[in-house]
A and B are shown apart, each in its own frame.
Chain A
């Protein structure tokens, strides 16, 4: 494809049509979820394939979803857990990544080897011993149990190390000349210069933990601690779970935050998750 040789719309039509059909199939669940959340049960269960609601039932459905289980609480929990996880991941990973990338010391290769080893292990693997450990110290069903296991991100260390390595050494020498400590070099010199890596990592981390079901399912029992993913299951277990309209309303509300974030920062999201895919 030569640059500037955009084909006419007519010639481009088959391509757009094929992509359009695929896009429709991708969007179908969203479309029906959204439309069902606006319909009364009588229309959902009616024996015909109607798309648009005849009677708008949004207030009832969304109201019921919010009343039946503490959905807003789930959303708040999700946001808090994601924020705490990201905070600790960066707090722990960035200094280590800097030491691995820019300092010379014995043990560097060993630690980096262990980080690479960690990259091979899916987080489902340590779950069982961690669960036993949290049960022993009575920390199940708490924010600590939701956050602590993810406070270390080997992928974060790996990604930041790559980003820090490409920064010029002169930058760091100059900061040392100014009398900065190594720790303040990490936060005030190196990190601000590795912003793309940081945002890519942040989007990856937030998406992964907002959407995670496995670990919250294991450690959380109460509604008070439930994250959005678990909240959907709790909602379905309630009586209102049989009310398709309300259930779809709940599904819309827990899916929306990530989709809105994604639409606002598409490029960062795609970059973040694609780098994670290629290197994680």
Chain B
């Protein structure tokens, strides 16, 4: 027995060392690439946003908040910021409202459930650039089916993507089309998690109508899901880029500029790295702000489940 005790002590210690060594070996590839490809470049981006560096320029100077000051007076950036915020402000609530309605309708019965879920989800897995091209054809001012349908009811042709009055509306429509299925699937997952007995209990307590049951059971219990869906959808909307690149390139006359497209143009077309970095920092700041708000609300309020 004594011998065993003597032997066990060093074994335990060496196992702890062995475990730590093994852990470092296992984590090394991930940790190194995490620094080299994500955290390091992000730190570099922050630093670059305080410089006037342009790609190809021999040297760079520290200009402090110079780029950020320029942002406040840059008309293109102001349009991009305003458009991005209104894009989020339109697409996010519409996708969530319609998505919740669709999820409730699909969950409201058994027939064709999988079929509908698959159909609504289809845009999420589809190559957005290709589908944007399909939308371009649908929305074409002369040969597009949408205008031809409208012509049948006497509406004059609309230049959906070519006029500055309509272009953001069109992009928002495509945005809702693209995000709806994502929201539907998340809400369906949230709805199946609600215990069925609660509906029976609510009915016993006098919640006769479907609306009452929604107000008393579904909506409160869906609280945490809704909060997630709001944040995730807002961030997805904030990243709008593909449709802009494929359909409008920010035009006409900057009417459809958005944050990531402005960042892309400044950085990769004009090679103004420092300035583009400052736009990216603004983009990151908005993403972080949204996540912070979510965490705050989560901590404080949504404790139903």
A251 touches B133 (CB 8 A): yes
Chain B contacts of A207 at CB under 8 A?
Answer: 124-125
Q: Name the contact of A98 in the complex, choosing from B26, B148, B180, B200 (C-beta under 8 A).
A: B26
Q: What's the Cα separation between A217 and B269 when bound, in Å?
A: 11
B125 touches A19 (CB 8 A): no
Q: Name the contact of A96 in the complex, choosing from B26, B44, B263, B276 (C-beta under 8 A).
A: B26
Q: Name the contact of A213 in the complex, choosing from B16, B128, B199, B291 (C-beta under 8 A).
A: B128
Chain A contacts of B121 at CB under 8 A?
Answer: 262, 266, 269-270
Question: Is A120 an interface position by the 8 A CB rule?
Answer: yes
Chain A contacts of B31 at CB under 8 A?
Answer: 96, 111, 114
The distance from the CB of A135 to the nearest CB of chain B, in whole angstroms, is 8
Chain B contacts of A105 at CB under 8 A?
Answer: 19-20, 23-24
A213-B37 contact in complex given A121-B284, A125-B280, C-beta closer than 8 Å? no
* Chain-B contact segment, one of A56-64, A79-87, A194-202, A272-280: A272-280
Count the A-B residue pairs with Cβ separation under 8 angstroms: how many?
A: 288
The distance from the CB of B140 to the nearest CB of chain A, in whole angstroms, is 8
What count of chain B residues pass the 8 Å CB interface test? 93
Chain A contacts of B106 at CB under 8 A?
Answer: 19
B185 touches A152 (CB 8 A): no
A233-B273 contact in complex given A33-B137, A126-B37, A278-B228, C-beta closer than 8 Å? no
Chain A interface SS verdict (over half): helix
Question: Is B126 an interface position by the 8 A CB rule?
Answer: yes
Question: Is B2 an interface position by the 8 A CB rule?
Answer: no
Q: What's the Cα separation between A236 and B131 when bound, in Å?
A: 13
Chain B interface SS verdict (over half): helix
Q: What's the Cα separation between A149 and B114 when bound, in Å?
A: 36
Question: Is A144 an interface position by the 8 A CB rule?
Answer: no
A122 touches B287 (CB 8 A): yes
Interface hits, B250-271 → A, CB 8 Å: 260, 263-264, 267-268
Q: What's the Cα separation between A277 and B241 when bound, in Å?
A: 19
The distance from the CB of B220 to the nearest CB of chain A, in whole angstroms, is 18
Contact with B along A154-178 (1 / 0, CB 8 A): 1001000000000000000000000
Question: Is B145 an interface position by the 8 A CB rule?
Answer: yes
A128 touches B20 (CB 8 A): no
Question: Is B214 an interface position by the 8 A CB rule?
Answer: no
B127 touches A132 (CB 8 A): no
Q: Name the contact of A273 in the complex, choosing from B16, B128, B182 (C-beta under 8 A).
A: B182
Question: Is A224 an interface position by the 8 A CB rule?
Answer: no
Chain B contacts of A7 at CB under 8 A?
Answer: 109
Question: Is A69 an interface position by the 8 A CB rule?
Answer: no
Closest to A123 in B: B38
Q: What's the Cα separation between A121 and B263 when bound, in Å?
A: 16
Q: What's the Cα separation between A233 and B241 when bound, in Å?
A: 14
Question: Is A137 an interface position by the 8 A CB rule?
Answer: no
| Given A118-B39, A247-B133, 12 extra CB contacts under 8 A | A16-B112, A19-B102, A26-B120, A32-B138, A98-B26, A100-B27, A108-B23, A118-B34, A124-B241, A131-B268, A211-B127, A213-B246
User: Which residues of chain B have a CB within 8 Å of any CB of chain A?
Assistant: 16, 19-20, 22-27, 29-31, 33-34, 37-42, 44-45, 48, 55, 98, 102, 105-106, 108-112, 114, 116-131, 133-135, 137-138, 143, 145, 148-149, 152, 177, 180-182, 185-186, 189, 196, 199-200, 228-229, 232, 235, 239, 241-242, 245-246, 260, 263-264, 267-268, 273, 276-277, 280, 283-284, 287-288, 291
17 A-B contacts (beta carbon < 8 Å): A6-B109, A15-B108, A22-B102, A26-B180, A95-B27, A95-B29, A104-B19, A105-B19, A111-B27, A125-B45, A128-B267, A128-B273, A154-B34, A213-B245, A233-B129, A248-B137, A254-B127
Question: 8 shortest A-B CB distances, which residue pairs?
Answer: A126-B41, A96-B30, A95-B26, A33-B134, A129-B41, A152-B33, A105-B20, A251-B130
